Amino acid sequence: RAYNFNAGPSALPLPVLQLAQEELVNFKNTGMSVMELSHRSKEFEDVLTHAKETLTELLNIPDTHEILFLQGGASLQFSMIPMNFLAPDQVGAYVLTGSWSEKALKEAKKLGKTAVVASTKEENYRSIPALDDVKLPKEEIGYLHITSNNTIFGTQWADYPSIEGVDLIADMSSDILCRQIDVSKFSLIYAGAQKNLGPSGVTVVILKKELLKRIPEGLPTMLNYETHVKSNSLYNTPPTFGIYMLSLVLDWIKEQGGVKAIEAQNHKKAKLLYTSMERSNGFYTPHATEESRSIMNVTFTLPTDELTTAFLQQAKEKGFVGLAGHRSIGGCRASIYNAVPLEACEALAVFMDEFAQANV
């Protein structure tokens, strides 16, 4: 297996792939693949129920919230959120911490009034704003939107803003289940599955039921959260194979000791890489400021473009995949999602040390 540091779609746990392989043509003695089951069958409904129950257990999701499995990626959530929860007399408040928050804001702007309530764009998104810097306008706020982990820039909120009476919405596409969170503090969490949850094609939404009251009349059926809540995510044909894979990934997280154990492992993995950078005495420069560093996407630059090219080339030869930084910021990025094993990070840290020593 490659040392896979792809940003998304990204590594899946090997035991999950192996189990899926085992069950591929004959799922639980049905004589059919999961892909071939009717989404209305008891067998598939069991898969969906199991996925919901396991996610509820892993994240300790309270009864006040509903879990949905939708399509359209996290990107469709950028539009569905304002369509459903931004009334004409309200302002959608956005914190800008990177390209994905910019994209979320861009869609909301088309649908209603918005305000940027904090931003680190001026400093090329090296950090997350201080909680005190998130200042809401006087108008009525529809919701406060944040991106919990910035996949491209490699920053992550350490603590989330919590403002009395304001619904907090978070794009957790690149860090859901990487650490323990208090779901009750969020009115809506969404995440494309393709990083920490499973293959692309399914999007998890965790939604506070109370929000449903705010949905305006007349929305297109598929873009109305109520449609999916009422039908248990089975209004139309859901991404059945994706939901099945997601349920296996959730089982795997549980087997690892749950989110608490995964969180400890993620800190260990991230520390290996950040420590290697510190040891390099300035050869590697982390993009993120220390207090905003992500434990999911580790971004860094090398002294010159030539060295970056050589680093990526040699890394490739050694079996490290996906280390080029996003085209918008360049440099390098190691995405170390839940399924990336500790050994991959250990091997990368050794390679980084050796490359730095050979090229200072």
The residue range among 56-64, 107-115, 166-174, 221-229 that interacts with ligand PLP, by the rule CB under 6 A, is 166-174
The answer to the question of residue 151 lying near ligand PLP (CB under 6 A) is: yes
The residue range among 51-59, 153-161, 171-179, 181-189 that interacts with ligand PLP, by the rule CB under 6 A, is 171-179
The answer to the question of residue 8 lying near ligand PLP (CB under 6 A) is: yes
Question: 93 vs 349, which CB is nearer to ligand PLP?
Answer: 93
Write the binding mask 70 to 109 for ligand PLP: x where contact by CB under 6 A, - elsewhere: ---xxx------------------------x---------
Residues 9-68 that bind ligand PLP (CB under 6 A): none
The answer to the question of residue 147 lying near ligand PLP (CB under 6 A) is: yes
The answer to the question of residue 315 lying near ligand PLP (CB under 6 A) is: no
Q: How far is the CB of 294 from ligand PLP (least distance, A)?
A: 11
Residues marked as binding for L-glutamate?
Answer: 40
**Residues acting as catalytic residues:** 100, 171, 195
Residues 180-209 that bind ligand PLP (CB under 6 A): 192
Compute the residue count for the chain: 360
Question: 73 vs 161, which CB is nearer to ligand PLP?
Answer: 73
Q: Which two tokens stand for residue 143?
A: 């919701």
Residues marked as binding for pyridoxal 5'-phosphate?
Answer: 74-75, 100, 151, 171, 194, 236-237
The answer to the question of residue 69 lying near ligand PLP (CB under 6 A) is: no
* Number of chain residues interacting with ligand PLP (CB under 6 A): 11
Question: 152 vs 352, which CB is nearer to ligand PLP?
Answer: 152
Q: How far is the CB of 341 from ligand PLP (least distance, A)?
A: 21
Question: 27 vs 154, which CB is nearer to ligand PLP?
Answer: 154
CA distance 331 to 153: 11
Question: 173 vs 292, which CB is nearer to ligand PLP?
Answer: 173
Give the residues lining the site for ligand PLP (CB under 6 A): 8, 73-75, 100, 147, 151, 171, 173-174, 192
